[in-house]
Structure 1
């Protein structure tokens, strides 16, 4: 973990894409589930159900521990604010985006508990859009703010899984 360089670095984005995309994904999936239901192609067995529950548990753990780690390091957890510290501990030691990963897993958990394929589609769309609209600009921001230290972190951690 390092403090930001002395010159101010602009935020990665001016809009809080991840929470908006997450809520929109839930709303769209739920609306489509109600008004245009599709048959659930998944297995209807105990093992598949436990996998879905595990997605939910790991997703919630990733989101909560990601926020807690950012708060503990006294840097922003708001995606439209400039980072003041490079956080490389907790879930960030393995994944560069544990909160976004957790949100994608929660959408897959939503698919299991509702038996709606629309939540799987929403998870896929969320991953694509959050990568394009937030993660890529965020990576450029962190490289500008933390330079070689961020590049070294990027080389040893995963963007998603």
Structure 2
């Protein structure tokens, strides 16, 4: 899917941060309707949750700082201004969305609310289909061969 106008923003609605907020609200609501089970290792999971939450938040901040250094637009409803391939973008094309997903998982563990785990997975799938694919088409139009080379060497979420 490619937009004809490279200045046209890749995302309007649903705005990706709203997808993550909605996932958190659904998980909280489900947690109230069907409370958590007694987890035998609850304290360990809570401690792990704080680590995952901190890792996700740290990844978000690192990615935002890297984008700022490159004077890249960070808002997903505005056109891209730079192709950032360093810092966390060297190993994930979407470190902010990855950080948001990790934070949802971390909240689930801290709050001992298992509904956050499928909510995080659903948010990641929704963001992939409703935002990331549009953003990738937008970046291909704007940055052509540079984007294609970056896409080839860097995973959408993580790894390779």
TM-score range with shorter-chain normalisation? Answer: 0.7 to 0.9
**Among 33, 36, 56, which residue is 2:34 paired with?**
36
**How many residue pairs end up in the alignment?**
154
Q: Which moved more, 1:29-38 or 1:97-106?
A: 29-38
Report the Cα distance in structure 2 between the residues aligned to 1:16 and 1:71, rounded to whole angstroms. Answer: 24
**Among 70, 73, 77, which residue is 1:73 paired with?**
70
Report the Cα distance in structure 1 between the residues aligned to 2:20 and 2:35, rounded to whole angstroms. Answer: 20
Unaligned runs of 5+ in 1: 1-6
Report the Cα distance in structure 1 between the residues aligned to 2:40 and 2:66, rounded to whole angstroms. Answer: 36
Determine helix, strand or coil for the equivalent of 1:117.
coil
Q: Which TM-score applies when normalising by structure 1?
A: 0.87
- Alignment check: 8 A CA contact 1:86 1:146 kept: yes
**Which residues in structure 2 correspond to 1:107-146 (within 5 Å)?**
107-146=104-143
Aligned-pair Cα RMSD in Å? 1.8
Q: Taking structure 1 as reference, are residues 73 and 27 closer, same or farther at Cα in structure 2, changes over 3 Å only?
A: same
Q: Tell me the CA shift for residue 98 of structure 1.
A: 0.3
Give yes or no for the alignment of 1:25 onto 2:33. no
**Among 132, 156, 159, which residue is 1:159 paired with?**
156
Q: Tell me the CA shift for residue 118 of structure 1.
A: 0.6
- Alignment check: 8 A CA contact 1:9 1:144 kept: no
**Deviations 1:104-134 (Å, cap 9, x if unpaired)?**
0000001111111110011011001000000
Unaligned runs of 5+ in 2: none
Give yes or no for the alignment of 1:100 onto 2:94. no
Q: Taking structure 1 as reference, are residues 43 and 60 closer, same or farther at Cα in structure 2, changes over 3 Å only?
A: farther
Determine helix, strand or coil for the equivalent of 1:99.
helix
Q: Taking structure 1 as reference, are residues 11 and 43 closer, same or farther at Cα in structure 2, changes over 3 Å only?
A: farther
Q: Which TM-score applies when normalising by structure 2?
A: 0.87
Determine helix, strand or coil for the equivalent of 1:148.
helix
